Structure 1
Amino acid sequence: MFDSHNRVGLDAEVSDSAIARSGGQAGGMTDVSATDIAAELRRVEKYWTPRVIGRVNDQYIKVARLLGELVWHAHEHEDEMFLVVSGRLRIQLPDDREVVLGPGQFHVVPRGVQHNPIADEEVEIVLIETVTTAHTGDVTVDGTVPIEQQVGDFS
């Protein structure tokens, strides 16, 4: 139902931590702060280390800075969305296919598809992934970042 300000009322419970992050109050849409993606990207200290900055239902919104090559991997049960904020990202796919993304462009790698992201220059991205998505999918390497570390102070 809409209120007198044409806002949708919130009937679902909202956690105290979500209220604190939004700067608002449960049940209302006042004092909700915006997330500054550029500022969140500046907080990323290491390449290939995603950082959770938000959550929508069962999807995490993450930011990452990339340089070099990650590893060929697949996510058996989850799709993975790459949105380039700055730079140029190549995503290698099976059969010598490749997707090249520039700022403002995104690509969804379907579940189960092997892929290898490559950043020939520094790239800043937003990832939207199901909360169960493992960083390097079916492969574990020295640079694999556990979800608990990605979530960090967002909890």
Structure 2
Amino acid sequence: MEKKIESINIMQKFSLFEKQWTPHIIGELNGQYVKLCKLKDDFVWHSHENEDELFMVFKGTLLMDFRDGRTVEVKEGEILIVPKGVEHRPHTNGELVFNLLFEPKETLHTGHVESEKTVKQLDWI
């Protein structure tokens, strides 16, 4: 079966869901999912043992804390790549942030940490 090749309107896809910190899949390539997520307030400290993680901000400002005390600000139109094994905590300054992620299919968004925010079954939109 041949896959349908068409463009994806990312902002239209963001309009299809409201739930925060719950990734939604919009595509896949080379064993990776392309995910959209709305972020607000604090997430959990976590790391990904075997995978780098790419964050691309479409709306708002994402703040990424690291255990060495640094916080990196990621603004609209910017990306941040967190290397595998680096513990991090995404959060916002109270605004709603629209974020796109590239992650291997098997990657849980909370890494090795299980919390009330862990989503194991992701929906395609």
TM-score, with normalisation over the residues of structure 2? 0.94
Normalized per residue, which structure has more helix?
A: 1
The 5 A counterparts of 1:29-44 are: 32-44=5-17
Normalized per residue, which structure has more strand?
A: 2
- Residue aligned with 1:38, SS: helix
Separation of aligned partners in 1, 2:60 and 2:124: 27
1:135 offset after TM fit, Å? 1.5
Unmatched runs of 5 consecutive residues or more in structure 1: 1-14, 23-31
- What count of residue pairs does the alignment treat as equivalent? 124
Q: 1:22-81, CA deviations, whole angstroms, 9 ceiling, x for partnerless residues?
A: 2xxxxxxxxx32111001111122000000100011111000101011100001111110
Which consecutive aligned stretches of 4+ in structure 1 deviate over 4 angstroms post-superposition? none
* Equivalent residue, structure 1, for 2:107: 133
Aligned alpha-carbon RMSD (Å)? 1.2
Percent of paired sites with the same residue: 37
Separation of aligned partners in 1, 2:63 and 2:18: 22
The 5 A counterparts of 1:1-155 are: 15-16=1-2, 19=3, 22=4, 32-120=5-93, 121-146=95-120, 148=121, 150=122, 152-153=123-124
1:97 offset after TM fit, Å? 1.0
Larger Rg: 1
Unmatched runs of 5 consecutive residues or more in structure 2: none
State the structure with bigger RCO (CA 8 A, min sep 6), 1 or 2.
Answer: 2
1:140 offset after TM fit, Å? 0.6
